[in-house]
Structures are given as C-alpha cells and as structure tokens.
Structure 1
C-alpha cells in the first residue's frame, strides 16, 4: 500500500466529477471500495462514476437490493459491466459456531450469486462496493479504497447539518498498477 491521495470535494457536483475521473482510469477486473458514514457522499460518488462509464440509467443506492448491474463503456471504448454493491445490510449477527464475520459475509455473497463476480471480476466487469471495507482483504488484494469523510458540521448557529458542504476523500491504492493510474486524477 502506498501513500493515500487526499482530495477535497467542495460540492455535490465536484464529488460526481471525482467519481467520473476515477471511472476514467478504471479497467475490467477492478474493485473499488467506498467507505464513509451515512450521508458522506458514497452514492453521489457512484453517480459520477456511472456518468464516467457512460451509463444512461440512474445510479441509486442498492441498499435494499444489495447489488445493481449496469452497462456502459470504459474510457477506451470497450464494454463496461458495473456491479454496484451496497454491503451495509450484509453480515448480520447470526453466525454459525466458529464462523467469523468475513466468512459470514462471503457466505451471504455466495447465496446472492455475487461471490464469483466479486472474487474475480470478468475482463469487462468493475465492482463498486459501498460499505465493503470489512471484507476488502478477503475479496480483492488489488483494489482501490476510497474513504469519504465530512468535517464536523456542528457549530453554534443552531442550524441542522445538511448534505451540503465539503467532503474529504482519501484514495488509497492497494496493489496492482493503481499508483500509476492515480497520477491521471486531478489534484
């Protein structure tokens, strides 16, 4: 793992632009993990990522469907098959005796038919997984981890926090040729 890249996304649109920029450097077989608290901007990033792949359909959080599959094109024009996964609801509390949380998550992915796609994406498939950090090492030793945080919106104004405001995005390459590809991202 190398030094993470930190980018500030000042607006919702800049978060989408960052998602599109990351999509422009992806290739088939890539796994990208998004993490951050509720409301951090993971789905907004995913919308930009979909835009960057030329996907026409809406990109919405797959929280209740667990995964959505959409087709577009990589930057080189080759077909792209996006599997957008939301692992938030995976890994419930009911474990078999001796089963650890990663094994439980992998079992759930298998029951959904996603284990093979996630373990070894096809040559035209890219995985974009929200809330997947708990199974990162088990799924993909080569991956791009994107952590999104929101600086504290708490102040003395009495105004409730909104989805507006800057986000701090930390992009960490893990294996593969991610280091060289990240040089193409705007700083």
Structure 2
C-alpha cells in the first residue's frame, strides 16, 4: 500500500481529493504515508482518528490535509472546513470515512476502496470522475504495470 501511495503522491500537483474507503486496518493510513513520501513530506504521518485532521507541508509549496471522520456522526463545522480546504489549489485532501461529509465532496475525486483479503494481501477498487482523478488513475495503472 505504501509503494502505491508513493507512486500516486509523486503525481499529485495540488487540488486533488482522494477518498479512502475500507475497514479498520485495511491500509488507508499506510497508503497515506506513501502519499506523503511521494510528496517529500519528512515528518511522521499519524492517523488523525482522534484529532480528526492533520496538515503537512509538502514539496513545491503543496500541503497535504489528512482527515479521518471515523468518529464523526455528522459533518457540522467540519463540512465547512473541508469545503474551504478543497478550494485551495495547492492543497491535496485525503479523507478516510467520508460518509459524514459526502455531500460536500467534489465529484472529481479519486476513490480507493481497500479490502483485506488476507493479513498481507489487499484488493483494490479505484474509481474516478473527472480530469484530476483520471490523471491520478494513470499513476495507479503505471504502478501496477511496473510490478
């Protein structure tokens, strides 16, 4: 998962939204750690489960905003915050457990659904709907073609 995240992270240019779907322990935060490596973020990436969000400075003036809404029943003020963040061209927004804020998410987003098939194997479903997310899908496809 981390290597895939790194490949996607290297393709990020700002303004992208990535939704990560999967059970607890599926690899969502591990994939985000790879995204951070691809964005040349050197500080440790921690799951925002208890803080809801974490923000990291990345290469080329980019910023990674990582959200985890596992404990959020409804969007409330977080819907406003995430709407603002997604408007910033230099911000990459990664969201785990997006159900509470689904109504404010753009249609053009990369959705990666991760299912643990065994303790060490994962099955992925990747969907797109727009030019930004389709560009990232190209990075996903290139990653798997090299393997």
TM-score when normalising by structure 1: 0.69
Indicate conservation of the 8 Å contact 2:79/2:101, yes or no: no
Report the equivalent of 1:83. 65
Q: What residue ranges of structure 1 are gaps of 5+ in the alignment?
A: 1-14, 92-103, 154-163
Q: Name which one, 1 or 2, has greater alpha-carbon Rg.
A: 1
Higher relative contact order (CA 8 A, sep 6+): 1
**Higher helix fraction: Structure 1 or Structure 2?**
2
Q: Name segments (4+ residues, structure 1) moved above 4 Å.
A: none
Aligned partners of 1:116 and 1:54: how far apart in 2?
24
Structure 2 residue runs without a partner (length 5+): none
Structure 1 SS opposite 2:131: coil
Contact 1:145/1:174 (CA < 8 Å) preserved in 2?
Answer: no
Contact 1:31 1:127 in 2 (8 A): yes
CA contact (8 A) 1:35 1:133 kept: no
Q: State the TM-score, normalizing by the size of structure 2.
A: 0.87
Q: How many residues align?
A: 142
